[in-house]
Amino acid sequence: MVILMLVHIYSTKIDYEFELDDKITLVSNESWLGEHILIKMISDSYNEPNAVHDESDIRCYYYMKGRYFELEKYLKVDKQNITFIQDFDEIFEYEDFLERIKDSEYYFVLFTRDVKDPSRPIRKMVVDEDKTTKNKIYITLEKPV
């Protein structure tokens, strides 16, 4: 497995750290550990940089359901980033999305319930039991099979 990017977003109580090994990472959004908390923390890393820290390899951005998102305009922004898309299934058709981003240099983490892609497993967020303490929860992505 080749690691392309490291994601590391943390606060005093919760720490997300995982590696992306593909330009597109599919993540199950059926867990209390998942999308809502992480996306809120990404948002807070802009608004409250002393409380939430983003030490990822490149800057993380997010798209939350209900906000207007014009993909083509977004892809013209001249900077590489990791974009997390909440409730992906409710916004895009997967094959259409792949076609529209094929020449992009962006990395995408798609929170999904329905996407099936034999070339990309759907990963789950899990508690890293080896690191977690009574004061802080460490969350990672399960390794792809």
Is pLDDT at 32 greater than 70 in this prediction?
A: no
Structure tokens at 48: 């409250």
Give yes or no for residue 9 having a pLDDT over 70. Answer: yes
- How many Cβ atoms are within 10 Å of 141's Cβ, its own excluded? 20
Burial 8-39 (b: 16+ CB within 10 A, else e): ebbbeebbbbbbbbbbbbbbbbeeebbbebbb
Assess whether pLDDT exceeds 80 at residue 126: yes
Has residue 1 got a pLDDT over 60?
A: no
In this prediction, residue 8 has a pLDDT band, given cuts at 50, 70 and 90, of very high
Within 1-145, residue ranges assigned H as helices are: 35-47, 71-75, 94-101
Tokens in use for 134? 């009574």
Cα 26–32–38 angle (5° rounding)? Answer: 60
Instruction: Quick: pLDDT tens for 37-84.
Output: 898 899 899 888 889 999 999 989 888 765 666 777 777 776 788 989
Task: Note the pTM of the prediction, 2 decimals.
Answer: 0.86
